[in-house]
Amino acid sequence: MIGVCILGATGSIGDSTLDVVARHLDDYRVVALTANTQVDKMLKLCQRFKPDYAVMASTQAAELLEQQLKESAIATKVISGVDGLEYVAALPEVDYVMAAIVGAAGLVPTLAAARAGKRVLLANKEALVMSGKLFMDEVHHSGAELLPIDSEHNAIFQSMPVDFSRGLAETGVRRILLTASGGPFRTKTLDQLQNVTPEQAIAHPNWVMGRKISVDSASMMNKGLELIEACWLFDAKPDQVQVVVHPESIIHSMVEYVDGSVISQMGNPDMRIPIAHAMAWPQRMDSGDKGMNIFEVAQLNFEKPDEQRFPCLRLAREAIEAGGTSPAALNAANEVAVDAFLDNRLPFLAIPKVIEQTLEQRTNRVADSLDVIFDEDKQARVLAAQLVSQLS
């Protein structure tokens, strides 16, 4: 059986992954589950899947879970902290690691999985945004398999030639067409965006996602981070990745070839589809999705993104073009700004202002070590927090 570790088991990607696993228990075994603070939900998951290990972010949460597991007579071993995350990600009995911890916190355990040569199912885009070259070097050095879980990058992977690692030009690829739903504010004017609330921002029209990533979708920073991720995953230059707003979220992304052919991957907006693809690859297996009714879809629409209303997309492109630690600073400033918005301490339209001013006030450095990357992350967060106070 294939041993699976799920980093971020209590989030939406964790839910979808475990739904897929539950349909194929003859093939997959849950070795380890990790979570932040949701002890009650983790208890239920341990009762159902009986993993060897459960990891909680804090010692307090781990102790509480351990006590509840003893009362339930479940032998799952409970550990905590970043060291615990790294430990389970590299376990010999783990074959596949679902990397679904949101934000910068997911970088260290995801990197540990790559170093250990696992099949890394990458749902944490920040790992590549922050440490692109370092991360890809670890993948190549260890022989790990890196399969994207974001529906867009998974679609690109499926639409690419099998030997795309030789280079886009060498394999006949002209450009990548990275689709975006446009989020809940796609048709809003700048005036209408002045007073939007967190509740409005997290109400995505097509996908069920966590609060942070939903706000990123509303600001289109999520697509900016995905643009950076696509550059690293597919060794593409920023000008080879074109963002296309596609409100229906049926075509998940496309690849255009030099002969004029455009190959796309289509499907319902259901994260179980890319998860099942990455778990079974190069084979296929049932994801639980009901299947797409093409007659109900009826029509597909495409629009150019408006970078005046959604400047986060421009900021992300500028960050990957600048290289170095700029993407790490971009990500850190965005996390701080989004947290402030969700706490009603920052207006929605001030999110890109915090990010842009953070990038302008810092010095770009060569991202040649994790120490440099984490130092950049720390400094950018401090600066961004100061800017939040000024703009709130």
Taking only the tens place, the pLDDT of each residue in 220-272 is 999 999 999 999 999 999 999 999 999 999 999 999 999 999 999 999 999 99
All residues at 6 or more sequence positions from 118 whose CB lies less than 8 Å from its CB, including other chains:
89, 90, 94, 95, 96, 97, 144, 145
Planar angle of CA 367, 370, 371, nearest 5 degrees? 95
Average predicted confidence (pLDDT) for the chain: 95
- Lowest-pLDDT range, 77-86, 205-214, 233-242, 381-390? 205-214
Task: Indicate if the pLDDT at residue 204 is higher than 80.
Answer: no
pLDDT in tens, 302-332: 999 999 999 999 999 999 999 999 999 999 9
> Residues 83-87: what's their mean pLDDT?
97
Percent of the chain with pLDDT over 90: 93
Q: Burial code of 300-332, b = ≥16 C-beta within 10 A, e = fewer? A: eeeeebeeebbbbbbbbbebbeeebbbbbbbbb
User: Where do you find CATH 1.10.1740.10 in the chain?
Assistant: 323-392
The confidence band for 207, taking pLDDT boundaries of 50, 70 and 90, is low
Q: Which CATH architecture has domain 2-148?
A: 3-Layer(aba) Sandwich (3.40)
Strand pairing category for 53-56 and 28-35:
parallel
pLDDT tens digits, 347-365? 999 999 999 999 999 999 9
pLDDT at 209 over 80: no
User: Which CATH topology does 323-392 take?
Assistant: Rna Polymerase Sigma Factor; Chain: A (1.10.1740)
DSSP per-residue codes, 68-124? HHHHTT---EEEEHHHHHHHHHT-TT--EEEE---SGGGHHHHHHHHHTT-EEEE--
Sequence ranges of the chain with CATH classification 3.40.50.720: 2-148
Bridge-partner residues for 213, per DSSP?
Answer: none
pLDDT in tens, 170-187: 999 999 999 999 989 999
pLDDT band per the 50, 70, 90 thresholds, residue 208: low
